[in-house]
Structure 1
Amino acid sequence: MSYRIALAVLLLAVTTACGSPSAGQGADLRGKVYVSSSVTEKGQPRAMVEGTRVELRFTDDGRLMANAGCNQMQGPVQLDDGKLSVADLGMTAMGCPKPELHQQDEWLSKLLSATPSWKLDGTNLVITGSNAEIVLAPEQPATLEGTWTVNSLVTQDAVSSVPAGVKVTITFKGGNMLVDTGCNLNGAETPYVLDGQTIKAKLGASTLKSCGPVDEVENAVRATFENGEATHEIDRATLSLTNASGAGLKLGK
């Protein structure tokens, strides 16, 4: 074997070794969101507060955003050598409705601050601390189909919450849109056409009785589709519907 061939073989071997890190090493998690599918502590399942889960979001600018059902945590993250290291993990100070949520926040904050190990197991992300392990699956992007609940009303100048006790849903199913306010708009099917980001739909005639706080939301729904179409945008589990003037709705699944 000539010197040149031997050198080429050696360089190929070194390049292959450097380009084949062990499982999870060097993987790029930026721009991805993971949600917990199982949580264990000391080898036993750890009960999460009802309706909550662990969410980890790795931003494009190298930060980790974490949530366990109440307060938001975030900080710059390093993923070298199979370790998840968060510098200066900060947390909001919202008043959670249950003490258990505060305790769950503190548990997750302590776990993430202790430089746990991480690896990818197929598409799942596994975070392992000294006494706990979280298995997280990639968050599946929401689709327009299904039922959405109106959370906020948008005007050109402000975003306001839906009045307390009012629940309004919009369902997209099989080419039909159903708006249910429990008052004048009560789930009648309205055909819609999806043209790129534009939803084309004309709300039919309805009664015009007054229903107290519901009136504000009904008026916002009508205004959103007043010209027979609205632009839609989905960001994770939030749907934004906007008319040509910038007014509209924000909804969640």
Structure 2
Amino acid sequence: MSNRIAVAVLLLATVTACGGPSAGQGADLRGKVYVSSSVTEQGKPRTMVEGTRVELRFTDDDRLIATAGCNQMQSPVKLDDGKLSVADLAMTAMGCPKPELHQQDEWLSKLLGATPSWKLDGTNLVVTGSNSEIVLATEQPATLEGTWTVNGIVTNDAVSSVPAGVKATISFKDGNILIDTGCNMNGAEQPFELDGQKIKHKLGPTTLKSCGPADEVENAVRATFENSEATYEIDRTTLSLTNASGAGLKLGK
């Protein structure tokens, strides 16, 4: 082996030994979303606000998007040497319905801003600060099967909220669709078919009594399936149903 080749091999081995594991581990997080399975503070379980969890999303362009139940935080992130480092953690300023949610946001913001340690324990991500530790599991992608709650009405590229006090669900089970708006659409099973990203379903006859605020949701459901089919798309825990003109529904699990 010539001296030139020997030097090249030695340099490659040195770079691999010094930089490989750290870069590899950090790369393992890219494009993944982790959700908390346990949270401890000062060695004791920390009670999260009911219905909330910590979510950490690592984007392909090396950003961290984090939530703890209300506001969203994001920043460029570095994962060198087992440390999670955010350069400038920006947070939205939504008015959370409970003060406890604001406190939870501040707790997570301080934890992430203090350069906590991180490691992979099997498929779990463990983030450890001076007084807190979060164990997070990889988020499993949602499937169409199951019950979805309508939380938005789509018209002309805008999304409006469902009227207050109205709860409407759409369930997919064993080849049947069940639409329940609490009024004219009462959850009766009707068949549907999948054709790629198309849900083929013809709405059956219903009563036509006035339901007050629920009328808006029922009209949106009818518009979504106006041609007996709707296009569906699942992004994490959000299901979008749209007709050919782009109007439709946003639903969550």
- What TM-score do the two structures reach when normalised by structure 1? 0.92
**Measured at CA, do residues 120 and 158 of structure 1 come closer, stay the same or move farther in structure 2, by a change above 3 Å?**
same
The answer on whether the counterparts of 2:22 and 2:80 sit within 8 Å (CA) in structure 1 is no
**Which residue number corresponds to residue 180 of structure 2?**
180
Corresponding residue number in structure 2 for 1:198: 198
SS at match of 1:39: strand
Partners of 1:171 and 1:85 lie apart in 2 by 41
SS at match of 2:29: coil
Unaligned 5+ segments in structure 2 are none
Question: 2:65 is matched with which residue?
Answer: 65
Post-superposition CA distance 1:31-88 (Å, at most 9, x none): 1110000111111111111111000011122111111111111111111111100011
Distance 1:153 1:8, change over 3 A: closer
Answer whether contact 1:23 1:119 (CA < 8 A) is retained. no
User: Hey, what's the Cα distance between the residues in 1 that align with 2:193 and 2:221?
Assistant: 17
The corresponding residue for 2:124 is 124
Please say if 1:222 is aligned against 2:222: yes
Instruction: Please tell me whether residue 166 in structure 1 is matched to residue 159 in structure 2.
Output: no
Equivalence for 2:250? 250
Q: Note the C-alpha offset of 1:112.
A: 0.3
Q: Equivalent residue for 2:77?
A: 77
- Counterpart amino acid of residue 218 in structure 1: E
Give the aligned partner of residue 236 of structure 2. 236
Q: Distance in 2 between matches of 1:168 and 1:141?
A: 23
Does the 8 Å contact 1:142/1:237 carry over to 2? yes
Displacement after TM superposition at 1:25 (Å): 4.0
Contact 2:157 2:246 in 1 (8 A): no
Tell me how far apart the structure 1 counterparts of residues 63 and 4 of structure 2 sit (CA, whole Å). Answer: 45
RMSD: 2.2
Structure 1 or 2: more helix by fraction: 2
Residue 118 of structure 1 deviates from its aligned partner by 0.6
Cα distance, 1:97 vs structure 2: 1.4
Name the aligned partner's letter for residue 121 of structure 1.
D
Counterpart in the other structure of 1:48: 48
Contact 2:38 / 2:134 at 8 angstroms: preserved in 1? yes
Aligned length: 253
8 Å CA contact 1:76, 1:88 repeated in 2? yes
Query: Where does the alignment leave 5 or more consecutive residues of structure 1 unmatched?
Result: none
TM-aligned CA distance change 1:22 to 1:219, over 3 Å: closer
Change in Cα spacing, 1:196 to 1:5, as seen in structure 2 (3 Å) is: same
| Matching residue of 1:89 | 89
Q: Partner residue of 2:104?
A: 104
